[in-house]
Structure 1
Amino acid sequence: MTTFALLSIAGASIAALLLLIIRFEIHAFVALMLVSLLVALATGIPLAEIIPTLISGMGGTLGSVAILVALGAMLGRMIEVSGGANTLAQRFSQLLGPKRVPAALTAAALVLSIPVFFDVGFIILIPIIYGFCKAAGVSPIKYGLPVAGIMLATHVVVPPHPGIVGGAAVLSADVGWITLIGLGICIPLAFVAQWVGGYLNRRHYAMQPEAEAQFRNFGSGDAADAPAAKLPGVGAVLTLILAPLALIMLGTTAATMLPKGDALRDFLAFTGAPVFALMVAIGLAFVLLVRPLGWTRKRTNEVMESALPAAATVILVTGAGGVFAKVLTVSGIGTALSQALSGTGLPLILLGFVISLALRAAQGSATVAILTTCGLLAESIQSGGYSAVQVAVLTVAIGFGGLGLSHVNDSGFWIVTRYLGLSVADGLRSWTVLTTVLGVVGFALTCLVWALVA
């Protein structure tokens, strides 16, 4: 089959995928599986090999993604239910002072969002945002925009979040390097989110009636008279979040600095594996959260299991994205695209960002945008002779493409606008602008890293 035909099929498959998800509102998992099957048939993959190819794509992606997503969701849920999120935000506020509350919340959001999915993390922080805003006499939009912005930035480029982890699996990228690079860029992005949020808030946004009533009545019930639970200390929460990151970073550092076959390198590689690191964090949660709070085994199991339904959907969509990527590779579309790109003169890092951004704008899901882009560019990246660090940088660039242009087809858009009381028009003027600026700035910082390692 000619290169033109293969690329035409690729273009048609993406258009069909977007049409199914946007126009006909088909679930992303079903749409990805259906389009993958049609691509396999259209490109002439032998019938006897189609189903094994689909299974291989699903299994290959989920082998590294499912455990990470499940453990990350459980850890985040335990921190949420224990009250650790509230403790963390309050402590940051006390350390920085009342006038720096917006910065304190943004800093807390950055730390909290590492193990917690964006929508869950934002909902966790809404009561804290409401409380601080009501005390300061300002709209929750003022504090909420930068908090949501940095949480979404972390969601698209820092493991164990599903899009970037799935993309790493597709590209065989090192999760440790992605963690170092992604988190390192998100730290200055927190300052950008704070500044851009402040700039956008120079405009007055009228709160929608339902959100305004909810904000006005916040704290007026009898909850304040209820006995307070024994909340975990800030040190315990930070330990749960930083311990797995430290293990992963040690493993990555050892793999870079120590020779192959070294016993210490092998040990740190084992303890620095993301799955093992998150298992350690879960074990620490039993000591630092469960025991002090006096949770029974039944209660602990209920908390952990409550994290799985949402995680299951994420896992399935991520796996289906892996299936689509596998079919694109086996069909020869990846090779054809690689050949076509070699004559365009566009830098691969820019191409990855632009494709991911376009897919994000078209179908709403950052996870699907990242996975689809990684599938399209896998052949080009894997055959380009890039180092492990360079592949990680390219993966992060694709991740930042999935950050921008959040609008009405994105569930996160509705979560943010609903809780902050923004109309659709004001949401486009504020939230959409903020996510796009953060995506572009994040990509620019990624290009600086690329210049250092290229």
Structure 2
Amino acid sequence: MDALVLTLIALGSIALLLLLIIRFQVPAFVALILVSVGTALATGMPFAEIIPTIVEGLGGTLGSVALLVGLGAMLGAIIEHSGGADALSRRFARILGPARVGAALLIASSVIATPIFFDVAFIILVPIIYAFSRAARLPSPMSIGLPIAGLMLFIHVVVPPHPGIVGSSAILEADMGLVTLLGCALVVPVGFVAHHTARLLNRRVYTVLPETLARYSEGPAADPGDGTGPQGPDDSGPSGQGGTEPSGTRPADQGGGSVKAPARTEPQAPPGTGSVLTIILVPIAMIGLQTVGSAFLAEGSAALGLLTMLGAPPFALLTGCLLAVYLLGVRRGWSMRSVGRVMEGALAPAAIVVFVTGAGGAFAKVLSESGIGDALSGGLLGLGIPLLLLAFVLAALLRAAQGSATVSAITTAGLLASTVSEGGYSSVEIALINLAIGCGAICLSHVNDSGFWIVSRYLGLQVADALRTWTVLVTVLGTTGFGLVCLVWALA
């Protein structure tokens, strides 16, 4: 089929996808499957091959995504319900002192956001942000909360086990270890940018929404250095709602509405900061050790084989989960039944993300097998647009159009899959292409993104003010991350 016709079909399929999700509120999973079938028919794919192609694309993506997202959700649920986020935030604040509370919470939030989805992680931290803001006698939680939300969303789009970066990496067959290490490396400089950009944006005084102001003012000011967190009944165990999205919402990438902080309970004694850090950092260290070891150990050696197993992201996350079960649960008085309820409760909302990601993989497979990916990316590359820039721009445009960072990342990966697989790129370059997609997927968050509403409502921003602050901040962070990716690409 002619390249121009294939390109028009691609544009039409994306437009139809956006129409179904935005205008008709069709669930993203159903919309992606319907558009996949329609695209396959429009390109003349044989009837007998359409469903097998969709199944192959969905199954191939789920093979990588389901393990990581499921284990990541359970790990995050245990940290959430145990009070680990509270303990970590207060410990950092106590170490850095009252004058650096904002920076302390920013550092803590970057650690907390690694295993926990953005919307849940931010809502967990809202009471802490409010308490420290009140203690500092700030008129609103905006000064402390804005950079925290921005950095947490950046981590959500560039660091596994979050679904968008995992899904795009699976489609482009990227080395997940390299993606993880490079994504974590980006977080540090982007964190500095988030802090200073938010300070500039906060020089203006914004009118706080009345309902947010009432909620912000009603609680007592907490002592930033008291080291305490919410207390819960020791004998009842966790409520079993760990890792779930707030009541009445969908995950931040999936669109949503009103928000409500999730309830949680914990054993009487707050967890130790060292335990929480160990649980989060050990899986990252295992992945990093495998990636580094592969550069120095002989291929086929027993040592490399052992490191390959230990450093595989699913095994590393499983290790983190087992550490969390013991250090934050059993050792602190939880029964295995209580811990099990928390872990099982985390899988229901994670399943939504997994299925949407899998459907995105099915759509990507149709785009690839039908020749659309080659036609579109080849045509754009023929205009002289570098592949890295193309990845960033496509993801940003799709993100602005339909609001989901996950869907935009996976769709972009599908459009570029053929070009990447046939381009002879190194493993580092493929990892950088995935990070460029992630950086594009954070940009231009606005009213069609439920994360926009979560942040604006909890920080008390009117829509116009949220566009001036939140949308600007995440776009700056995405562009900064892309600039750093380009720098590494030039040096690689």
The letter of the residue matching 2:136 is: A
> Residues 318 and 225 of structure 1: is their aligned pair in 2 closer, same or farther, counting only changes over 3 Å?
closer
1:270 aligns with 2:271: no
1:218 aligned partner: 219
Partner residue in 1 for 2:330? 291
Match of 1:85 in 2: 85
What's the secondary structure of 2:174's corresponding residue?
Answer: coil
Aligned position for 1:120: 120
Tell me if structure 1 keeps the 8 A contact 2:135–2:221: no
Cα pair 2:330 2:336 within 8 Å, conserved: no
Cα distance in 2 for residues equivalent to 1:261 and 1:71: 29
Look up the match of 2:252: none
Aligned to 2:76: 76
1:262 deviates by 1.4
Q: Do structure 1's residue 32 and structure 2's residue 71 form an aligned pair? A: no
Identity of aligned residues (%): 57
The offset of 1:336, in angstroms, is 1.7
Provide the residue aligned with 2:403 in structure 1: 364
Residue equivalent to 2:239: none
Query: How far off its partner does 1:169 sit?
Result: 0.3
Say which SS state the counterpart of residue 345 (structure 1) adopts: coil
Q: CA RMSD in A?
A: 1.5
Q: For residues 199-244 of structure 1, what are the alpha-carbon distances to aligned partners after superposition, in whole Å with 9 as ceiling and x for unaligned?
A: 11111111111111111112389x9898882111000000000000
**Residue 417 of structure 1 pairs with residue 418 of structure 2:** no
Give SS of 2:148's match.
Answer: helix
Would the aligned equivalents of 2:167 and 2:357 in 1 still touch at CA under 8 Å?
A: yes
What TM-score, normalized by structure 1, do the two folds share? 0.97
- State the TM-score, normalizing by the size of structure 2: 0.90
Kept in 1: contact 2:283–2:319 (CA 8 A): yes
| C-alpha distance after superposition, 1:33-69 (max 9, x if no partner) | 1100000111111111111111101100000001100
Who is 2:346 aligned against?
307
Is 1:103 paired with 2:118?
Answer: no
Partner in structure 2 of residue 178 of structure 1: 179
Query: Counterpart amino acid of 1:309?
Result: A
Q: How many correspondences in the alignment?
A: 452
Using the alignment, how far apart are the partners of 1:235 and 1:415 within structure 2?
A: 30
Quick check: 1:203 aligned with 2:204? Answer: yes
The residue type paired with residue 327 of structure 1 is V
Alignment deviations for residues 291-337 of structure 1 (CA, whole Å, 9 cap, x no partner): 23211222111111221122111111100100000000111112222
Q: Partner of 1:60 in structure 2?
A: 60
Deviations 1:141-197 (A, max 9, x none): 110000000000000000000000000000000110001111101111111111011
Distance 2:221 2:93 in 1: 22
How big is the shift at 1:338?
3.9
1:227-376 map, 5 Å: 229-376=268-415
1:437 paired with 2:438, answer: no
Q: Deviations over 1:273-299 (max 9, x none)?
A: 000001111111122111232112221
Tell me if structure 1 keeps the 8 A contact 2:381–2:387: no
Q: Distance in 2 between matches of 1:375 and 1:450?
A: 21
Separation in structure 1 between the aligned mates of residue 484 and residue 147 of structure 2, nearest angstrom: 19
Give the Cα separation in 1 of the matches to 2:132 and 2:336: 35
**Aligned equivalents of 1:136, 1:305: Cα separation in 2:** 39
- The alpha carbon displacement at 1:429 in A equals 0.9
User: Which residue does 2:146 correspond to in 1?
Assistant: 145
* Inter-partner Cα distance in structure 1 for 2:340 and 2:143: 37
Q: What code does the residue aligned with 2:150 have?
A: G
1:307 aligned counterpart, secondary structure = helix
1:271 alignment partner AA: L
Aligned in 2, Cα 1:278/1:48: closer, same or farther, shift over 3 Å?
same
- Counterpart of 1:23? 23
* 1:15-46, Cα deviation, whole Å (9 max, x unpaired): 11111111112111111111000001111111
2:312, 2:231 → 1: CA distance? 45
For 1:41 and 1:199, locate their aligned partners in 2 and report how far apart those are by CA, in whole Å: 51
Equivalent residue letter for 1:68: L
Correspondence 1:164 to 2:165: yes
In structure 2, the gaps of 5 or more residues are: 223-228, 234-266
Shift, 1:256, TM fit:
2.3
1:189 is matched with 190
